[in-house]
Homo-oligomer: A and B are copies of this chain.
């Protein structure tokens, strides 16, 4: 790692039994980690502890980072254990805070509760540690709290994600940047589909070795059927030079694996395909057997997909393949439902029936049952029919039923993506 940058470290300390016993998935630390990283602050640890005074005090005493972001334990129901712990840790006491009280009364007023009827438990949320700087909560009744000791900053925030996020954006992140002046980080995330992590890493090995001289770090972020590649570099003095170095390596990557890259940043494969279809002014339909509707679901998770997506047929039973998609019965008998001719006829059949420019079809064995020596579980034929004709290919996907369905759907989208071609083609 580059030595010239200023290394500001942070820890997320998340409080709540519900996180430990798995009633709630901890999304707060991921969100905070992302926001900190974008500011050039390095998240080095997350700890989750239960609603117990000793566990919380032990955690506070063993902080080693410049910054600790504490979430949870501020609700009116569970008796404000976090505030009690913070008071004993910082040797202070709870005192009334007028602006916090006004905010509580204002919020209850909005919900139609007049001041005299606001419950004491709710008003107690305006009692805050005397030595803290209160951070206003625009969306809730629990204020954030900012403490400093021995050059470390301790911030206590509510566990409700949108309240925590609002206080982070409006108060915490600006104050942290002003206080620590962290080195900015520049990065680009390039999204690939079609190769597994291992094969992709082998193909990029030589290029990856060259990143060090530019002080660029590469992260592989795999998900079923896809790998995201994140390039990042500390900006140090010259942010433009850092950006240029990252851009240079990103361009090199486009040169190495052009056919695997479908987008950058937050764009999903189905969004990229949607954008391309809008650009071409063309429409899409699907015929699904083994993917059972998941392919259509992915396509329709994109807002505005109705402008290019006509619809689809889930032909689970052979009768549907014959009657809705016009697959000849003898073809099903001769080649079997999981075969190239059936996949291609499904795509052509739904393209004709729904009058779309493009059509994608899947037929296979999702498992766990139904496999044969010749056609094991995971065998999937995918076909794409378009203005230029029909293409098809067979894959064998591994994993659970749900994974085979997911991987087959992504492979189907990817075959379509390749047929649609890249902008400018």
Contact = CB atoms under 8 A, between A and B. Distances in A.
Contacts of A309: 316-317
Nearest to A48: B46
A201 B110 contact: no
A202 B44 contact: no
Contacts of A122: 198
A153 interface: no
A162 interface: yes
Given A19-B46, A21-B34, A30-B22, A369 B316 contact: no
A198 B121 contact: yes
Interface residues of A, number: 97
Interface string A1-42: 000000000000000011111111111011111110100000
B46 A20 contact: yes
Contact of A219 (B17, B76, B294): B17
A71 to B, nearest CB: 13
Given A300-B292, A316-B310, A110 B398 contact: yes
A222 B25 CA distance: 12
A396 B110 contact: yes
Contacts of A44: 20, 49-50, 55
Nearest to A355: B319
A160 to B, nearest CB: 9
Contact of A293 (B22, B46, B295, B310): B295
A47 interface: yes
Interface in A30-73: 30-35, 37, 43-50, 55
Q: How many copies does the complex hold?
A: 2
Contacts of A111: 396, 398
A88 interface: no
B23 A26 contact: no
A230 B29 CA distance: 25
A210 interface: no
Contacts of A30: 19, 22-26
A403 B165 CA distance: 14
A127 interface: no
B47 A45 contact: yes
A107 interface: yes
A314 B316 contact: no
A107 B377 CA distance: 13
A87 interface: no
A311 B292 CA distance: 8
B313 A317 contact: no
Given A18-B221, A292-B299, 10 more contacts: A18-B219, A22-B31, A25-B27, A26-B29, A44-B49, A46-B47, A112-B396, A121-B198, A311-B320, A313-B313
Please name the 9 residue pairs, one residue from A and one from B, whose CB atoms are nearest each other, closest first: A292-B300, A293-B296, A22-B34, A293-B293, A46-B48, A22-B33, A22-B30, A293-B297, A311-B320
